[in-house]
Structure 1
Amino acid sequence: MRWEGLFADLEGQLAAEERRELDSEVAERTRRERALVDLTARLLAGVGTQVSLLVEGGREVSGTLSDVGDGWLLLGDGTRERLLPVHAVLALGGLPPHADPGRSARRFGLGHALRVLARDRATVALALAGGTSLVGTIDVVGSDHLVLAEHPEGEPRRRGNVRAVSVVPFAALRVVGSRR
Protein backbone atom coordinates (compact mmCIF):
# COMPACT_ATOMS: atom_id res chain seq x y z
CA MET A 1 0.00 0.00 0.00
CA ARG A 2 2.81 2.37 0.76
CA TRP A 3 4.43 1.70 -2.66
CA GLU A 4 1.15 2.37 -4.42
CA GLY A 5 0.87 5.82 -2.82
CA LEU A 6 4.47 6.62 -3.70
CA PHE A 7 3.94 5.53 -7.33
CA ALA A 8 0.71 7.52 -7.57
CA ASP A 9 2.50 10.59 -6.22
CA LEU A 10 5.32 10.18 -8.77
CA GLU A 11 2.75 9.77 -11.59
CA GLY A 12 1.04 12.95 -10.45
CA GLN A 13 4.34 14.84 -10.40
CA LEU A 14 5.21 13.62 -13.90
CA ALA A 15 1.79 14.57 -15.24
CA ALA A 16 2.06 18.04 -13.65
CA GLU A 17 5.53 18.51 -15.18
CA GLU A 18 4.21 17.46 -18.62
CA ARG A 19 1.33 19.96 -18.26
CA ARG A 20 3.78 22.74 -17.34
CA GLU A 21 5.97 21.93 -20.37
CA LEU A 22 2.96 21.86 -22.68
CA ASP A 23 1.64 25.15 -21.27
CA SER A 24 5.07 26.71 -21.71
CA GLU A 25 5.30 25.47 -25.31
CA VAL A 26 1.82 26.75 -26.13
CA ALA A 27 2.64 30.14 -24.61
CA GLU A 28 5.89 30.35 -26.58
CA ARG A 29 4.15 29.42 -29.85
CA THR A 30 1.45 32.00 -29.15
CA ARG A 31 4.08 34.70 -28.57
CA ARG A 32 5.84 33.69 -31.79
CA GLU A 33 2.59 33.81 -33.81
CA ARG A 34 1.63 37.20 -32.36
CA ALA A 35 5.08 38.55 -33.27
CA LEU A 36 4.27 37.85 -36.93
CA VAL A 37 1.07 39.94 -36.93
CA ASP A 38 1.49 43.43 -38.39
CA LEU A 39 -0.67 46.50 -37.91
CA THR A 40 -2.30 46.12 -41.32
CA ALA A 41 -3.66 42.69 -40.34
CA ARG A 42 -5.08 44.16 -37.13
CA LEU A 43 -6.64 47.05 -39.06
CA LEU A 44 -8.19 44.67 -41.59
CA ALA A 45 -9.83 42.75 -38.76
CA GLY A 46 -11.43 46.03 -37.67
CA VAL A 47 -12.99 47.00 -41.01
CA GLY A 48 -16.64 47.83 -40.35
CA THR A 49 -16.12 48.60 -36.66
CA GLN A 50 -16.16 51.89 -34.76
CA VAL A 51 -12.61 52.94 -33.87
CA SER A 52 -10.96 55.91 -32.25
CA LEU A 53 -7.51 57.13 -33.14
CA LEU A 54 -5.01 59.44 -31.58
CA VAL A 55 -3.19 61.26 -34.35
CA GLU A 56 0.17 62.94 -34.07
CA GLY A 57 -0.37 66.45 -32.74
CA GLY A 58 -2.97 65.35 -30.17
CA ARG A 59 -5.95 65.23 -32.54
CA GLU A 60 -8.52 62.53 -31.78
CA VAL A 61 -10.44 61.06 -34.71
CA SER A 62 -13.21 58.48 -34.58
CA GLY A 63 -15.48 56.76 -37.04
CA THR A 64 -16.14 53.49 -38.77
CA LEU A 65 -13.02 51.94 -40.24
CA SER A 66 -14.15 51.42 -43.82
CA ASP A 67 -11.00 50.61 -45.78
CA VAL A 68 -7.29 49.89 -45.40
CA GLY A 69 -4.54 50.25 -47.95
CA ASP A 70 -0.79 50.37 -48.26
CA GLY A 71 0.12 52.95 -45.62
CA TRP A 72 -3.34 54.47 -45.14
CA LEU A 73 -6.75 53.87 -43.60
CA LEU A 74 -10.17 55.36 -44.25
CA LEU A 75 -12.71 56.34 -41.60
CA GLY A 76 -16.30 57.38 -42.22
CA ASP A 77 -19.03 58.80 -40.00
CA GLY A 78 -21.97 59.08 -42.40
CA THR A 79 -21.35 62.65 -43.51
CA ARG A 80 -17.63 62.77 -44.16
CA GLU A 81 -14.70 60.51 -44.79
CA ARG A 82 -11.19 60.88 -43.45
CA LEU A 83 -8.10 59.42 -45.02
CA LEU A 84 -5.24 58.99 -42.57
CA PRO A 85 -1.67 58.03 -43.32
CA VAL A 86 -0.70 55.21 -40.97
CA HIS A 87 2.51 57.11 -40.10
CA ALA A 88 0.38 59.81 -38.42
CA VAL A 89 -1.50 57.41 -36.11
CA LEU A 90 -0.12 57.20 -32.58
CA ALA A 91 -2.72 54.88 -31.01
CA LEU A 92 -5.90 53.04 -31.97
CA GLY A 93 -8.85 51.99 -29.85
CA GLY A 94 -11.73 49.71 -30.71
CA LEU A 95 -9.89 47.19 -32.86
CA PRO A 96 -10.80 43.51 -32.40
CA PRO A 97 -8.35 41.55 -30.27
CA HIS A 98 -7.22 39.35 -33.18
CA ALA A 99 -5.94 39.87 -36.71
CA ASP A 100 -7.73 38.73 -39.85
CA PRO A 101 -5.27 36.75 -41.99
CA GLY A 102 -7.97 36.04 -44.60
CA ARG A 103 -8.25 39.67 -45.74
CA SER A 104 -5.77 41.74 -47.65
CA ALA A 105 -5.25 45.48 -47.81
CA ARG A 106 -5.66 47.46 -50.97
CA ARG A 107 -2.36 47.36 -52.77
CA PHE A 108 -2.21 51.02 -53.74
CA GLY A 109 -0.57 53.61 -51.56
CA LEU A 110 -1.49 57.00 -50.17
CA GLY A 111 -0.64 58.80 -53.40
CA HIS A 112 -3.14 56.76 -55.39
CA ALA A 113 -5.88 57.40 -52.82
CA LEU A 114 -5.16 61.14 -52.96
CA ARG A 115 -5.26 61.07 -56.76
CA VAL A 116 -8.88 59.89 -56.55
CA LEU A 117 -9.72 63.02 -54.53
CA ALA A 118 -7.85 65.17 -57.05
CA ARG A 119 -9.65 63.53 -59.97
CA ASP A 120 -13.04 64.09 -58.31
CA ARG A 121 -12.13 67.74 -57.58
CA ALA A 122 -13.36 67.21 -54.03
CA THR A 123 -12.87 69.95 -51.47
CA VAL A 124 -10.66 68.59 -48.72
CA ALA A 125 -9.60 69.73 -45.28
CA LEU A 126 -6.00 68.84 -44.49
CA ALA A 127 -4.83 68.55 -40.90
CA LEU A 128 -1.07 68.93 -40.92
CA ALA A 129 1.78 68.35 -38.50
CA GLY A 130 1.98 71.13 -35.96
CA GLY A 131 -1.78 71.63 -35.88
CA THR A 132 -2.11 73.65 -39.08
CA SER A 133 -5.22 73.13 -41.23
CA LEU A 134 -5.71 73.91 -44.91
CA VAL A 135 -8.90 73.72 -47.01
CA GLY A 136 -9.03 73.50 -50.76
CA THR A 137 -8.86 71.26 -53.78
CA ILE A 138 -5.98 68.95 -54.60
CA ASP A 139 -4.64 69.97 -58.00
CA VAL A 140 -1.64 67.65 -58.32
CA VAL A 141 -0.41 64.56 -56.50
CA GLY A 142 3.27 63.75 -56.86
CA SER A 143 5.19 60.77 -55.58
CA ASP A 144 5.65 62.25 -52.09
CA HIS A 145 3.65 65.50 -52.05
CA LEU A 146 0.46 67.18 -53.19
CA VAL A 147 -0.39 70.63 -54.47
CA LEU A 148 -3.42 72.20 -52.82
CA ALA A 149 -5.33 75.17 -54.23
CA GLU A 150 -6.61 76.80 -51.06
CA HIS A 151 -10.13 78.23 -51.16
CA PRO A 152 -13.02 78.57 -48.71
CA GLU A 153 -14.95 75.42 -47.89
CA GLY A 154 -18.23 75.30 -49.73
CA GLU A 155 -16.94 77.32 -52.66
CA PRO A 156 -15.80 75.65 -55.89
CA ARG A 157 -12.20 75.74 -57.02
CA ARG A 158 -12.26 78.72 -59.35
CA ARG A 159 -9.40 81.07 -60.09
CA GLY A 160 -11.15 83.89 -58.25
CA ASN A 161 -11.72 81.75 -55.14
CA VAL A 162 -8.13 80.46 -54.81
CA ARG A 163 -6.32 82.33 -52.01
CA ALA A 164 -3.03 80.43 -52.20
CA VAL A 165 -1.40 77.36 -53.68
CA SER A 166 0.52 75.17 -51.22
CA VAL A 167 2.82 72.21 -51.74
CA VAL A 168 2.33 69.71 -48.90
CA PRO A 169 4.69 66.76 -48.34
CA PHE A 170 2.93 63.48 -47.51
CA ALA A 171 5.05 63.34 -44.34
CA ALA A 172 3.23 66.45 -43.06
CA LEU A 173 -0.27 64.98 -43.57
CA ARG A 174 -2.16 63.85 -40.48
CA VAL A 175 -5.80 63.73 -41.68
CA VAL A 176 -7.36 64.34 -45.09
CA GLY A 177 -11.08 64.98 -44.68
CA SER A 178 -13.73 65.20 -47.39
CA ARG A 179 -17.52 65.36 -47.52
CA ARG A 180 -19.35 62.37 -48.95
Structure 2
Amino acid sequence: MRWDALFADLQAQASAQRQEVFESSVAEAVALEWSRVELVDRIRGHTSQPIAIRLRGGETVTLDVRTVGSDWIAGGAAGYQWLIPVGAVDMVKGLTRRTQVEPSQARRRLSITSPLRALAEARHHIVVRCETGVLAEGALLGVGRDFLDVRTESDYPTIRTVPLAAITAVCSGRS
Protein backbone atom coordinates (compact mmCIF):
# COMPACT_ATOMS: atom_id res chain seq x y z
CA MET A 1 0.00 0.00 0.00
CA ARG A 2 1.01 3.54 -0.68
CA TRP A 3 0.29 4.60 2.90
CA ASP A 4 2.74 2.02 4.27
CA ALA A 5 5.48 3.28 1.95
CA LEU A 6 4.76 6.90 2.94
CA PHE A 7 4.91 6.10 6.66
CA ALA A 8 8.08 4.06 6.20
CA ASP A 9 9.67 6.96 4.33
CA LEU A 10 8.64 9.46 7.06
CA GLN A 11 9.99 7.14 9.74
CA ALA A 12 13.32 6.77 7.87
CA GLN A 13 13.59 10.56 7.52
CA ALA A 14 12.91 11.07 11.23
CA SER A 15 15.44 8.39 12.14
CA ALA A 16 18.08 9.97 9.87
CA GLN A 17 17.38 13.39 11.41
CA ARG A 18 17.75 12.00 14.97
CA GLN A 19 21.04 10.35 13.97
CA GLU A 20 22.29 13.61 12.48
CA VAL A 21 21.38 15.55 15.64
CA PHE A 22 23.07 12.88 17.78
CA GLU A 23 26.26 12.94 15.69
CA SER A 24 26.32 16.73 15.79
CA SER A 25 25.95 16.68 19.60
CA VAL A 26 28.76 14.15 19.93
CA ALA A 27 31.01 16.24 17.67
CA GLU A 28 30.29 19.34 19.77
CA ALA A 29 31.03 17.46 23.00
CA VAL A 30 34.31 16.12 21.61
CA ALA A 31 35.32 19.59 20.38
CA LEU A 32 34.49 21.10 23.78
CA GLU A 33 36.46 18.42 25.62
CA TRP A 34 39.43 18.81 23.24
CA SER A 35 39.38 22.59 23.76
CA ARG A 36 40.23 21.98 27.44
CA VAL A 37 43.34 19.87 26.71
CA GLU A 38 46.68 21.55 27.47
CA LEU A 39 49.95 20.94 25.65
CA VAL A 40 51.55 19.49 28.79
CA ASP A 41 48.75 16.89 28.95
CA ARG A 42 49.40 15.91 25.32
CA ILE A 43 53.12 15.56 26.02
CA ARG A 44 52.51 13.71 29.31
CA GLY A 45 50.52 11.17 27.30
CA HIS A 46 53.80 10.31 25.52
CA THR A 47 56.00 9.66 28.57
CA SER A 48 58.85 7.22 27.79
CA GLN A 49 58.53 7.96 24.10
CA PRO A 50 60.77 10.14 21.94
CA ILE A 51 59.30 13.34 20.55
CA ALA A 52 60.98 16.14 18.61
CA ILE A 53 60.69 19.53 20.28
CA ARG A 54 61.59 22.66 18.34
CA LEU A 55 62.65 25.42 20.70
CA ARG A 56 62.46 29.19 20.27
CA GLY A 57 65.45 30.08 18.15
CA GLY A 58 65.21 26.99 15.95
CA GLU A 59 67.05 24.30 17.94
CA THR A 60 65.36 20.88 17.79
CA VAL A 61 65.78 18.34 20.59
CA THR A 62 64.61 14.74 20.22
CA LEU A 63 63.61 14.11 23.81
CA ASP A 64 62.72 10.85 25.53
CA VAL A 65 60.03 12.31 27.79
CA ARG A 66 60.33 11.31 31.45
CA THR A 67 58.44 13.90 33.49
CA VAL A 68 56.04 16.70 32.62
CA GLY A 69 55.13 19.49 35.03
CA SER A 70 52.71 22.37 34.88
CA ASP A 71 55.00 24.47 32.66
CA TRP A 72 57.99 22.23 31.92
CA ILE A 73 59.13 19.02 30.23
CA ALA A 74 62.05 16.87 31.37
CA GLY A 75 63.77 13.97 29.68
CA GLY A 76 66.88 12.62 28.09
CA ALA A 77 68.40 13.56 24.74
CA ALA A 78 71.84 13.08 23.24
CA GLY A 79 73.15 11.60 26.49
CA TYR A 80 72.11 14.59 28.62
CA GLN A 81 69.19 15.41 30.90
CA TRP A 82 67.06 18.28 29.60
CA LEU A 83 64.61 20.58 31.35
CA ILE A 84 62.55 22.64 28.91
CA PRO A 85 60.08 25.40 29.76
CA VAL A 86 56.85 24.89 27.80
CA GLY A 87 56.93 28.59 26.93
CA ALA A 88 60.12 27.96 24.95
CA VAL A 89 58.49 25.33 22.73
CA ASP A 90 57.68 26.42 19.18
CA MET A 91 56.48 23.04 17.90
CA VAL A 92 56.29 19.37 18.85
CA LYS A 93 56.55 16.53 16.36
CA GLY A 94 55.62 12.94 17.10
CA LEU A 95 52.52 13.35 19.26
CA THR A 96 49.41 11.29 18.71
CA ARG A 97 45.99 12.43 19.93
CA ARG A 98 46.65 10.69 23.28
CA THR A 99 46.52 12.84 26.43
CA GLN A 100 47.09 12.26 30.14
CA VAL A 101 46.08 14.68 32.88
CA GLU A 102 48.33 14.79 35.95
CA PRO A 103 46.26 13.05 38.65
CA SER A 104 48.10 14.66 41.59
CA GLN A 105 46.91 18.17 42.52
CA ALA A 106 50.24 18.83 44.23
CA ARG A 107 52.32 17.85 41.20
CA ARG A 108 49.99 19.80 38.93
CA ARG A 109 51.02 22.98 40.76
CA LEU A 110 54.79 22.43 40.55
CA SER A 111 56.33 25.00 38.26
CA ILE A 112 59.74 24.81 36.59
CA THR A 113 61.33 26.32 39.69
CA SER A 114 60.75 23.03 41.58
CA PRO A 115 63.07 20.82 39.48
CA LEU A 116 65.53 23.73 39.20
CA ARG A 117 65.67 24.03 43.00
CA ALA A 118 66.32 20.28 43.25
CA LEU A 119 69.24 20.72 40.83
CA ALA A 120 70.52 23.67 42.89
CA GLU A 121 70.38 21.65 46.12
CA ALA A 122 72.55 19.02 44.49
CA ARG A 123 74.88 21.71 43.06
CA HIS A 124 74.60 20.15 39.62
CA HIS A 125 76.70 21.37 36.74
CA ILE A 126 74.28 22.80 34.19
CA VAL A 127 74.24 24.51 30.83
CA VAL A 128 71.62 27.24 30.46
CA ARG A 129 70.52 27.75 26.87
CA CYS A 130 68.64 30.59 25.19
CA GLU A 131 67.51 31.31 21.63
CA THR A 132 71.01 32.30 20.53
CA GLY A 133 73.09 29.68 22.35
CA VAL A 134 74.59 29.18 25.81
CA LEU A 135 73.93 31.85 28.44
CA ALA A 136 75.76 30.26 31.36
CA GLU A 137 77.53 27.05 32.27
CA GLY A 138 78.54 25.96 35.74
CA ALA A 139 77.11 25.11 39.15
CA LEU A 140 73.48 26.04 39.76
CA LEU A 141 73.60 28.03 42.99
CA GLY A 142 70.02 29.05 43.55
CA VAL A 143 66.64 29.74 42.02
CA GLY A 144 64.51 32.79 42.73
CA ARG A 145 60.95 33.39 41.72
CA ASP A 146 61.87 34.44 38.18
CA PHE A 147 65.62 33.93 37.86
CA LEU A 148 68.46 31.53 38.58
CA ASP A 149 72.11 32.01 39.54
CA VAL A 150 74.94 30.01 37.97
CA ARG A 151 78.56 30.14 39.14
CA THR A 152 80.72 29.89 36.04
CA GLU A 153 83.70 27.58 36.11
CA SER A 154 86.40 29.66 34.49
CA ASP A 155 89.70 31.25 35.51
CA TYR A 156 87.69 34.02 37.14
CA PRO A 157 84.50 32.44 38.55
CA THR A 158 81.55 34.77 38.43
CA ILE A 159 77.87 34.49 39.15
CA ARG A 160 75.53 34.88 36.19
CA THR A 161 71.92 35.69 36.92
CA VAL A 162 69.54 34.53 34.20
CA PRO A 163 65.84 35.48 34.00
CA LEU A 164 63.71 32.35 33.65
CA ALA A 165 61.89 33.99 30.72
CA ALA A 166 65.15 33.99 28.71
CA ILE A 167 65.74 30.23 29.08
CA THR A 168 64.90 27.78 26.30
CA ALA A 169 66.49 24.76 28.03
CA VAL A 170 68.65 23.66 30.93
CA CYS A 171 70.93 20.68 30.33
CA SER A 172 72.36 18.74 33.22
CA GLY A 173 74.83 15.88 33.39
CA ARG A 174 75.05 12.74 31.29
CA SER A 175 72.00 10.47 31.35
TM-score over 0.5 for the alignment? yes
Give the distance between the partners of 2:18 and 2:60, measured in 1 at CA.
49
Give the distance between the partners of 1:47 and 1:67, measured in 2 at CA.
7
How far apart are residue 13 of structure 1 and its match?
Answer: 1.0
- Aligned residue for 2:28? 28
Give the distance between the partners of 1:140 and 1:101, measured in 2 at CA.
30
User: Once structures 1 and 2 are overlaid, which stretch shifts more, 40-49 or 60-69?
Assistant: 40-49
SS class of match (1:136): strand
How far apart are residue 164 of structure 1 and its match?
Answer: 3.4
Structure 1 residues 106 and 27: CA distance shift in structure 2, 3 A:
closer
When the two chains are superposed, the root-mean-square deviation of aligned CA atoms in Å is: 1.9
- Summarize deviations over 1:26-62 as a string: whole Å, max 9, x none: 1111111111222232222121111110111111011
- Aligned residue for 1:126? 128
Please, which of 109, 116, 139 is the counterpart of residue 137 of structure 1?
Answer: 139
Superposed counterparts of 1:53-132, under 5 Å: 53-77=53-77, 79-101=79-101, 103-104=103-104, 105=107, 107-132=109-134
Amino acid in structure 1 at the alignment position of 2:128: L
Q: TM-score when scaled to structure 2?
A: 0.88
Give the distance between the partners of 1:59 and 1:77, measured in 2 at CA.
13
Does structure 1 conserve the Cα–Cα contact (< 8 Å) formed by 2:149 and 2:160? yes
Please, which of 139, 149, 158 is the counterpart of residue 164 of structure 1?
Answer: 158
**5+ residue gaps, structure 2:** none
Q: TM-score when scaled to structure 1?
A: 0.86
Give the distance between the partners of 2:122 and 2:149, measured in 1 at CA.
15
- Aligned residue for 1:5? 5
SS class of match (1:70): coil
- Aligned residue for 1:39? 39
Give the distance between the partners of 1:151 and 1:178, measured in 2 at CA.
15
* Residue correspondences, number: 172
Give the distance between the partners of 1:162 and 1:17, measured in 2 at CA.
78
Identity of aligned residues (%): 30
Amino acid in structure 2 at the alignment position of 1:167: T
**5+ residue gaps, structure 1:** 153-160
